[in-house]
Amino acid sequence: MFWNYQYEYKNAITNELGLSCQCKLYLLTNKKNETYRNRCEQVHTWLLETVDMINSSLWLFNDGLNDSTCLNNDGLTWTYNQGVILLGLELMSQIDPARYFNASLTLAKRLIYGVTTHLIQIQNTSSSVTPQAHILREVVNATQVRTSTDHEQFKGIWMRYASYFFKYLQDLNIEPQLRNDMRNFVRENWYYGLLTYAKYPSDGVFVFDSVWYEDYQYSDGVSQTSAIDAFNAAFVFL
């Protein structure tokens, strides 16, 4: 699938969302509508086997493909690209466990641990128990995040989709180490990031910055939705 109506760009996020959508539709028909299954298998094959969208050194999805060569454009590894695909992997495993479960779990683990390349270590002044915390950030600087209504959302989206995948692992009662690592990571971002650095009391309520590892500077509606995603995700991990 293309990013826009002009058919100018094929990127990771469009096809990740398309994969999840087709899988959901197939499951909602009780696995009876083969058109949806064929479509989700086509997108899955294209995204994970036909094109080289994954950065092999980081094990993260790059932004998209080069228009002229249809090869990986080595674009930025945005956090949300590493999160949204987790739902598609989970749903493919539900559709055909024998075929997809093991490979999906392996890739999901690589992506989750690969996101650690996006972390920044901050000094935490609010607790003598945890002197440092590892906070999620984008691969661009804080100013670029704050001035883009796209970049502001990405970390919250990652947290949301990570919570879906955590619940899936929890329901199956598998991968206890991965679940524990995910839980600790989300707690650090929720408490030591959002509640220590990125908040500011305004008219009796807190508003949140879109950058979670610096003292509060700026917020808008988009940064608030990203924070809400993170808070909602945190409840799943409690």
Per-residue pLDDT of 105-143, as tens digits, reads 999 999 999 998 899 887 655 554 455 788 999 999 999
Give the pLDDT confidence score for residue 129 in this predicted structure.
45
Domain assignment of residue 126, given as a range: 12-237
Q: Using alpha carbons, select from 155, 120, 116, 139 the residue that is nearest to residue 63.
A: 139
Residue 7 belongs to some domain of the structure: no
Q: Distance (Å, rounded) from C-alpha 196 to C-alpha 105?
A: 33
Is residue 148 in some structural domain?
yes
Is residue 5 situated within a structural domain?
no
What's the predicted TM-score (pTM) here?
A: 0.92
Encode 137-173: b = buried (16+ Cβ within 10 Å), e = exposed: bbeeebeebbeeeebbbbbbbbbbbbbbbbebbeeee
pLDDT digits (tens, 9 = 90+) for 195-209: 888 999 888 889 999
Q: Are 127 and 191 in contact (CB under 8 A)?
A: no
64 part of a folded domain: yes
Cα–Cα distances in angstroms (integers) from residue 36 to residues 32, 49, 96, 116, 237, in the given order: 9, 19, 14, 34, 32
Q: What is the pLDDT of residue 100?
A: 96
How many domains are contained in the chain?
A: 1
* Residue 4, domain member (yes or no): no
* Helices 34-45, 79-95: crossing angle, 10 deg rounding: 140
Asked if residue 47 is part of any domain, the answer here is yes
pLDDT in tens, the chain (238 residues): 565 666 567 889 999 999 999 999 999 999 999 999 999 999 999 898 888 788 878 889 998 888 777 788 888 999 999 999 999 999 999 999 999 999 999 999 999 999 988 998 876 555 544 557 889 999 999 999 999 989 999 999 999 999 999 999 999 999 999 999 999 998 889 888 898 889 998 888 899 999 999 989 999 999 999 999 999 998 998 7
Q: Is residue 211 part of a domain?
A: yes
Domain harbouring 45, CATH code:
1.50.10.20
Contact (CB, 8 A) for 211 and 226: no
Residue 203 lies in a domain: yes
